[in-house]
Structure 1
Amino acid sequence: MSGGVEIPRNDWFRLSLKVTVGETEADLAPILTEIVLSLPPDVLAAEDLEDLVAEARFYPTLPDGRHFALDGGPIAPLIKAFQELTGLAGEMHLADAETAWRIAEALEGSGLPFAGREAVEGLVRRLRALTDPASVPVPPGLEARLRPYQHQGVGWLLALSEAGFGGVLADDMGLGKTLQALALLVARHLAPGGTGRPSLVVVPTSLVATWRREARRFAPGLRVLVLHGPDRGARFGEIPDNDVVLTTYPLLHRDHETLFAQPWDVAILDEAQAVKNPAAALAKHSRKVDARMRLALTGTPLENNLEELWAIFDWVNPGLLGTRSQFRESFRTPIETHGDVAANARLAQRTRPFLLQRTKETVAPDLPPRTEIVETVLLEGAQQGLYETIRVAMDKRVRDTLATKGLQASRITVLDALLKMRQAACDPALVKIPAARKVTRSAKRERLMDMLEPLVAEGRKVLVFSQFVEMLKLIEADIAARGWDYAMLTGRTRKRAEAIDRFQSGAVDLFLISLKAGGTGLTLTAADTVILYDPWWNPATERQAMDRAHRIGQTKPVFVYRLIADATVEAAIHDLQTRKQALADALFDEGQSGGFDMSEDDLLALFKPPASSAAP
């Protein structure tokens, strides 16, 4: 019997062990799996497992149904390595250098003649290079002074590209992911000889102008083609003549057949959480891209559940985390449902070489401090009565729906009920029922105006965020009545750049922004104060709003105020946020674990009147 190692060209992370028995070639992994399953649990758990296997004889099955005799001695090292290092349906995955090296040592120790050691050793060298990328000079053609952590990031990206892997750059918002990605593109396209292929960058529509501006500023030597607008089809023929092609996620739905017929050098997804739903058409289209390297940029690789992380990594490095069902069995269910610390540690180990994530805390010398303050607002009188009326009605509606349809089928009803309660907490004017028309006072809006009075008098530069455009219009009316100058940005704003420039230049001190229009892609370092008028379900979304002001280029301390209506669903959501963020952070901390999914009891708790923090 002899063996060989095969690493598929399109899947660096799956190791195939081919064994030859006589004239029959078979995959050794199923054979080893059969042997492991035949061993009693006490033998598998024994410290001297290798010795016990060496003394045994096995009769595994070949693909044609025949059995053959196999002495345990030669395969004992392989059995131990296989038992320790597999977990995805009996497949060996080589996501880190030490795993790959132990497989090679086990093969060597088996005494069996085998071919392919050079391939494994080469993979080990490439994987080890990712853990400590050598310091590299700033790529010629990049007109920027990189901060130390950005320099490290560029070195990591270059190590990834040279090794033939993809990666996820998950730095906090505002730490320069776009600049680091541009440095990679400059190094590849402006080097002598070039790459022979253009690179593709897919971004949210709101970031097209940002990427074009940053490329002109930091990488003027790159030839950038922007495919946007109704006449973009006339420019498809220019794709091979450019270094970088910039398009958007919405246009990918329409243009994917043309774009993916072109081979690319680097394919980049900015705000890559856009493909977090693996069943969505956008995620399926993106997997068809033919590129030498895939790079995902996102400040939130994990927002709600582990499957989102799998979706991003499955695009970046297909096969790294197994299939969707394998990932669910080996990682998601053990971690989210059972709080399995060991599974969490294995997942962190497997993704670590291909994930670079720095927080603002790690680059504190580059940023002034940020102070976060929760402003609790008490609903009183008619507004409190309106909220309580809606809460009771929604509680009954949700309970009835859960009883008849179950949790999964009640999603729309639950979200609609939560929306009505949140609107009542924000301002009665948002609630479209006759009873709300009689309620003229809004505790939160009055508190906001009380806060803005001294801020405006002091000359502070303030961002006010809300999810509700209609809420911003109510605030706008209050501001206009006081004679304050302001700018406003919503999805309906046509002169977006003009509104941003008015604030950044100092022409106005107040900037009203809807979450959808301004939650990502803006640099508003003129601001020193951020007010989050209504809390958002996901803490990552709140951080993105804060990061409009608290990012590289900011020179002043930043104050962030959250307005929370006490004893309402807003307070319940705020309590949940702390739990959710801790769970998300646990993925990258091997010592932590936890579950993600809300139970029916957790959900119903949102419809109960929480105890007031102002109560005696």
Structure 2
Amino acid sequence: MADEMGLGKTLQCITLMWTLLRQSPDAKPEIDKVIVVSPSSLVRNWYNEVGKWLEERVLPVAIDGGSKEEIDRKLVNFISQNGLRVPTPILIISYETFRLHAQVLHRGKVGLVICDEGHRLKNSDNQTYQALNTMNAQRRVLISGTPIQNDLLEYFSLVHFVNSGILGTAQEFKRKFEVPILKGRDADASDKDRLAGEEKLKELISIVNRCLIRRTSDILSKYLPVKIEQVVCCRLTPLQEELYKLFLKQAKPVESLQQGKISVSSLSSITSLKKLCNHPSLIYDKCVAGEEGFEGALDLFPPGYSSKAVEPQLSGKMLVLDYILAMTRSTTSDKVVLVSNYTQILDLFEKLCRARRYLYVRLDGTMSIKKRAKIVERFNSPSNPEFIFMLSSKAGGCGLNLIGANRLVMFDPDWNPANDEQAMARVWRDGQKKTCYIYRLLSRGLKDPVLVSSWDAAVSFVFHQRSHEDQRGVV
């Protein structure tokens, strides 16, 4: 089930579970037990949704914490149930807990396994995929709003999980589909290669459509409020510009990228520049240590600088964010979701909120599963005073329902555009009543074209390589 975000995939699956647990052509239940596997941040959400729609007709069991012995006992009780009407037919469990306790669940069989945010299974070699794939289940449903993350082989893993053999083996799939499709999309491809690639893509779509449903958010356009997405280009501050120029002069990975070589140090350099564009404090420790690219950079910081203070005036993005929050707070009653890939940025958000006296909540990977569900529910309440919800895209960028807010700021872009799409869909979804505003903050280029051109050419090589791998053609 590959419907775009916000189209009610959870409700559709709850309907499916209820139907199969209660009826069949033989006038008896089609299945006896269901396992729902989801990211840890969504376990409690699934439990609440089942309770909301089915009330007390079906009793689910949600495992979101506890000792190993306690979890094993609950799993044994669930998997050992038999009969037409078992007491607790639905188990909701996280991917991590399933993997750690898979041997208990493998002792029995279930009628249906539902994998939420199923793009977690894009790698058929990882332990979670293997643990789920060996589960004795009659039926499998995989849910993902962004089924293609990076390349076609990952997409093959998802299709193979729900319908084993429909695309052959991984080697057969690569030879028959992936190679000709990629060859046809190459910048230097001939007309013959392009035509062959298009034909193979059409053939692949016709096969996959037998076990896939994909609907876009256009369905909701007449039911949901307007969504306004704005790309905000932020000018670098003088400090950021000087640090950026210094790095370009010193960094050796620039030379290797220009020669067409991608190394670990090259990608590390791009990450350093991403952090610099977010806020100079994120690379302050590198400057203190005099690491490659930042030798002598400490002298560029203002006298008495301390990385413990937020100092928004030193970052173009942070200045823009400060303005957005101030205007939103003073002129509207809207709430705001702040999204970043880095917990260090969330720390800066916290400092800014404390300085401006904004009430906020924060969700990242350190928060327990139970607490995540509580703060989401509290934030969505109109009577709750919290103004800002800080969100780590890695910990809560998928599946969360944050309709209590109608403004979302993407502070930094992800390498994978699918992750950004997931994060932006947290506010514009079913249940939203207000006009939604999405702000994507990007740093503008430097003023000196001579300095920038070499680095831009080098970085464009990386993204050119990725564009060959990204089957959606998004760069």
Matched length: 413
TM-fit CA distance, 1:291: 1.6
CA contact (8 A) 1:564 1:570 kept: no
CA deviation string 1:152-198 (max 9, x = no partner): xxxxxxxxxxxxxxxxx011112111110111110010225223531
State yes or no: 1:397 paired with 2:253. Answer: yes
**2:135 alignment partner AA:** V
TM-fit CA distance, 1:469: 1.3
**1:560 alignment partner AA:** I
- When residues 272 and 325 of structure 1 are mapped into structure 2, their CA distance, relative to the original with a 3 A threshold, is same
CA contact (8 A) 1:372 1:561 kept: yes
- When residues 352 and 262 of structure 1 are mapped into structure 2, their CA distance, relative to the original with a 3 A threshold, is same
State yes or no: 1:328 paired with 2:174. Answer: yes
TM-fit CA distance, 1:565: 0.4
- Kindly report which structure 2 residues correspond to 1:48-67, keeping only aligned pairs within 5 A, or say none: none
Q: Which residue pairs with 2:192 in the alignment?
A: none
CA contact (8 A) 1:189 1:222 kept: no
TM-fit CA distance, 1:336: 1.6
- Kindly report which structure 2 residues correspond to 1:232-311, keeping only aligned pairs within 5 A, or say none: 232-239=71-78, 240=81, 241=86, 242-311=88-157
State yes or no: 1:377 paired with 2:212. Answer: no
State yes or no: 1:225 paired with 2:61. Answer: yes
TM-fit CA distance, 1:401: 8.5
- Cα distance in 1 for partners of 2:380, 2:456 equals 31
TM-fit CA distance, 1:523: 0.9
- Residue 503 of structure 1: which of 363, 379, 383 is its match? 379
CA deviation string 1:49-101 (max 9, x = no partner): xxxxxxxxxxxxxxxxxxxxxxxxxxxxxxxxxxxxxxxxxxxxxxxxxxxxx
- Cα distance in 1 for partners of 2:471, 2:405 equals 28
TM-score (ref. length: structure 1)? 0.63
Q: Which residue pairs with 1:528 in the alignment?
A: 406
- Cα distance in 2 for partners of 1:342, 1:204 equals 36
- Cα distance in 2 for partners of 1:196, 1:363 equals 32
RMSD, aligned CA: 2.8
- When residues 499 and 224 of structure 1 are mapped into structure 2, their CA distance, relative to the original with a 3 A threshold, is closer
Structure with the greater alpha carbon radius of gyration: 1
- When residues 563 and 446 of structure 1 are mapped into structure 2, their CA distance, relative to the original with a 3 A threshold, is same
- Cα distance in 2 for partners of 1:316, 1:447 equals 45
Q: Which residue pairs with 1:186 in the alignment?
A: 18
TM-fit CA distance, 1:362: 2.8
CA deviation string 1:550-593 (max 9, x = no partner): 000011111111110011799979x969x9699645xxxxxxxx
Q: Please state whether the residue corresponding to 2:209 is helix, strand or coil.
A: helix
- Cα distance in 2 for partners of 1:489, 1:243 equals 31
**2:152 alignment partner AA:** L
TM-score (ref. length: structure 2)? 0.80
Q: Which residue pairs with 1:3 in the alignment?
A: none
**1:524 alignment partner AA:** L
Identify which of structures 1 and 2 has the higher relative contact order when contacts are C-alpha pairs closer than 8 Å and 6+ apart.
2
CA deviation string 1:436-494 (max 9, x = no partner): 58266112111211121111112221111111111121122122112222222222235
State yes or no: 1:460 paired with 2:306. Answer: no
**1:553 alignment partner AA:** G
- When residues 228 and 482 of structure 1 are mapped into structure 2, their CA distance, relative to the original with a 3 A threshold, is closer
TM-fit CA distance, 1:327: 0.5
- When residues 528 and 217 of structure 1 are mapped into structure 2, their CA distance, relative to the original with a 3 A threshold, is same
State yes or no: 1:442 paired with 2:296. Answer: no
TM-fit CA distance, 1:400: 4.1
**2:206 alignment partner AA:** Q
- Cα distance in 1 for partners of 2:153, 2:53 equals 35
- Cα distance in 2 for partners of 1:581, 1:547 equals 26
Q: Please state whether the residue corresponding to 1:460 is helix, strand or coil.
A: coil
Q: Please state whether the residue corresponding to 2:386 is helix, strand or coil.
A: coil
Q: Which residue pairs with 2:311 in the alignment?
A: none
Q: Which residue pairs with 1:141 in the alignment?
A: none
TM-fit CA distance, 1:500: 2.3
- Cα distance in 1 for partners of 2:334, 2:469 equals 33
Q: Which residue pairs with 1:547 in the alignment?
A: 425
- Residue 472 of structure 1: which of 333, 346, 353 is its match? 346
TM-fit CA distance, 1:382: 2.0
- When residues 501 and 570 of structure 1 are mapped into structure 2, their CA distance, relative to the original with a 3 A threshold, is farther
- Cα distance in 2 for partners of 1:580, 1:172 equals 22
CA contact (8 A) 1:539 1:581 kept: no
CA contact (8 A) 1:373 1:560 kept: yes
- Cα distance in 1 for partners of 2:108, 2:206 equals 34
- Cα distance in 2 for partners of 1:497, 1:291 equals 29
- Cα distance in 2 for partners of 1:570, 1:483 equals 39
TM-fit CA distance, 1:256: 1.6
- When residues 502 and 212 of structure 1 are mapped into structure 2, their CA distance, relative to the original with a 3 A threshold, is closer
- Cα distance in 2 for partners of 1:196, 1:371 equals 44
State yes or no: 1:481 paired with 2:355. Answer: yes
CA contact (8 A) 2:146 2:422 kept: no
CA deviation string 1:361-384 (max 9, x = no partner): 133122112111111011132211
**1:561 alignment partner AA:** Y
**2:77 alignment partner AA:** E
- Cα distance in 1 for partners of 2:114, 2:379 equals 31
Q: Please state whether the residue corresponding to 1:366 is helix, strand or coil.
A: coil
State yes or no: 1:387 paired with 2:387. Answer: no
- When residues 259 and 391 of structure 1 are mapped into structure 2, their CA distance, relative to the original with a 3 A threshold, is farther
CA deviation string 1:247-294 (max 9, x = no partner): 221122222222123111111111111110122222222221222111
- When residues 215 and 485 of structure 1 are mapped into structure 2, their CA distance, relative to the original with a 3 A threshold, is same
CA contact (8 A) 1:253 1:285 kept: yes
Q: Which residue pairs with 2:36 in the alignment?
A: 201
**1:555 alignment partner AA:** K
Q: Please state whether the residue corresponding to 1:200 is helix, strand or coil.
A: strand
CA contact (8 A) 1:190 1:222 kept: no
CA contact (8 A) 1:461 1:526 kept: yes
- Cα distance in 1 for partners of 2:106, 2:330 equals 55
- Cα distance in 2 for partners of 1:529, 1:570 equals 32
CA contact (8 A) 1:198 1:243 kept: yes
**2:233 alignment partner AA:** T
CA deviation string 1:379-425 (max 9, x = no partner): 1322111123234444x226449979x65xx3x43432221110011
Q: Please state whether the residue corresponding to 2:138 is helix, strand or coil.
A: strand
- Kindly report which structure 2 residues correspond to 1:415-434, keeping only aligned pairs within 5 A, or say none: 415-431=267-283, 432-433=285-286, 434=288
- Residue 563 of structure 1: which of 434, 441, 448 is its match? 441
Unaligned runs of 5+ residues in structure 2 are: 186-196, 289-296, 306-313, 447-454
Q: Please state whether the residue corresponding to 1:338 is helix, strand or coil.
A: helix
- Residue 158 of structure 2: which of 312, 322, 331 is its match? 312
- Cα distance in 1 for partners of 2:373, 2:385 equals 14
